[in-house]
Amino acid sequence: MTFTGRQVQLTAYPDGEVRPSDFRIVEVDVRKPGPGEVLVRNTWTSVDAGLRMRLREKGPDGYFPAFPLDAPMDQIKTVGEVVESHAAGFERGHTVWHASGWRDYSVVKASDQPLAGLGALRRLDVEAAPPQAYLGPLGGNGLTAYAGLFRVGELRDGDVVWVSAAAGAVGNLVAQMAKIRGHYVVGSAGSEEKVRDLLEVLGLDAAFNYKDGPLPELLRQAAPDGIDLYFDNVGGDHLRAALAALRPWGRVAMCGMISDYEAATPAPGPDNLFQAVANNLTLRGFRGSANVDLLDDMWRDVGGWLRDGRIRYRETVVEGLENAPEALARLMRGDTTGKTLVRIA
């Protein structure tokens, strides 16, 4: 018996802001899984800032591939339940993650290694955490935060840490992890409500709304003696302000540059890069997916902090697969807090 399911397809590359009208929902036949494959009924799918860079005819060199038009959108993390399995180790009813997202049903080859291996079909322990947590703190966001702070940023005793986009999926986790390790943590975000949450609920030492004035001044007020580690989710003017505030031997964990993602042409680099020379700074870009070897360590530590209530897990849930494009548009304009998720079923 064949049946159908919906999938989201991109019909035009957005010029500037993400527009739901650049997508369509298509009803497609769902094929039977073959040997080594499973059929998954998807329940949650991920919405990530990085998807914006793939809504282009050609994405940045070395990054995940651009989405083709009028085709399924592959390599997006998703969680669901196995409906039929022809792959060893997977049975009907298992909750799994994979990377064939933004659709109702996926036929997944168990041996495939999408998203540099991070998106390979994997059974999830739903006794330990709800399924959607594996798209957030226990998924790629958790790994990116964990690897970026501890491995790439080399968090050291006494470091003063600044996290930008601190109310978002990755930033929220980084800020909380640095607090757990006893650091003075500054967070920045784009609304008063988010700033209040960072201070009053997450207990950061200082926080500011980057729209409130010149960034260097706002950062100086939050960290008068400077910073040692900047976790950069934004790039542009934020990176420039960090370079001016970093103390000798400071570090930048370059996670993302969201201020540039909707620009028609990339912005020029910061004009004060010489500060890196002057102060022996290290600026290091990284991909969470290049740190899959840390997944077990991350699950142990972040899983424990979630269970203890030391990490508060924030999510913005958008209902319905058909609203996935709108969810991405909301994330890009700062209208979500914590992990942005679409509940499919």
Q: Which of 8, 40, 163, 165 binds ligand NAP (CB under 6 A)?
A: 165
Asked whether the beta carbons of 259 and 237 are under 8 A apart, the reply is: yes
Residue 255 or 344 having the CB closest to ligand NAP: 255
The whole-angstrom separation of Cα 49 and Cα 232 is: 13
Phi and psi based region of residue 326 (left: phi greater than 0; alpha: psi -120 to 50; beta: remaining): alpha
Q: Which of 336, 341, 342, 344 binds ligand NAP (CB under 6 A)?
A: 336
- Would you tell me how many other CB atoms lie within 10 Å of the CB of residue 256? 25
Backbone angles phi, psi at 119, to 5 degrees: -100, 10
Enumerate the β-bridge partners of residue 80: 42, 96
Letters for 122-161 (x = contact with ligand NAP by CB under 6 A, - = none) are: ------------------xx--x-----------------
Per residue in 6-27, is it b (16+ CB within 10 Å) or e — as a string?
bbbbbeeebeeebebebbebbe
DSSP reduced 3-state for 98: strand
The whole-angstrom separation of Cα 309 and Cα 17 is: 36
169 binds ligand NAP (CB under 6 A): yes
Q: How many of the chain's residues bind ligand NAP (CB under 6 A)?
A: 32
Strands, DSSP E only, in the chain? 3-10, 23-30, 37-47, 78-85, 95-98, 105-109, 122-123, 160-163, 184-189, 206-209, 227-232, 246-254, 282-285, 315-319, 339-343
Between residue 260 and residue 319, which ones bind ligand NAP under the rule CB under 6 A? 286-288
The amino acid present at 121, given as its one-letter code, is L
Between residue 47 and residue 106, which ones bind ligand NAP under the rule CB under 6 A? 48-50
Asked whether the beta carbons of 342 and 44 are under 8 A apart, the reply is: yes
119 binds ligand NAP (CB under 6 A): no
Number of helices (H), then strands (E), belonging to the chain: the values are 8, 15
The amino acid present at 89, given as its one-letter code, is G
- What's the DSSP call for residue 336? -
List the structure tokens of 251: 């570090």
> Which among 107-115, 123-131, 294-302, 328-336 is the span making contact with ligand NAP, rule CB under 6 A?
328-336
Q: Which residue is nearest to ligand NAP (CB)?
A: 168
Residue 135 or 344 having the CB closest to ligand NAP: 135
Residue 121 or 331 having the CB closest to ligand NAP: 331
Letters for 184-213 (x = contact with ligand NAP by CB under 6 A, - = none) are: -----xxx--x---------------x---
258 binds ligand NAP (CB under 6 A): yes
325 binds ligand NAP (CB under 6 A): no
Instruction: Report in angstroms how near the CB of residue 259 gets to ligand NAP at its nearest.
Output: 4
167 binds ligand NAP (CB under 6 A): yes
Instruction: Report in angstroms how near the CB of residue 297 gets to ligand NAP at its nearest.
Output: 17
Q: Which of 42, 85, 100, 233 binds ligand NAP (CB under 6 A)?
A: 233
Instruction: Report in angstroms how near the CB of residue 97 gets to ligand NAP at its nearest.
Output: 15
The amino acid present at 254, given as its one-letter code, is M
Q: Which of 136, 171, 187, 325 binds ligand NAP (CB under 6 A)?
A: 171
Instruction: Report in angstroms how near the CB of residue 207 gets to ligand NAP at its nearest.
Output: 11
Residues in the site for ligand NAP, rule: CB under 6 A? 48-50, 140-141, 144, 165, 167-171, 189-191, 194, 210, 233-234, 255-259, 286-288, 331-332, 334, 336, 340
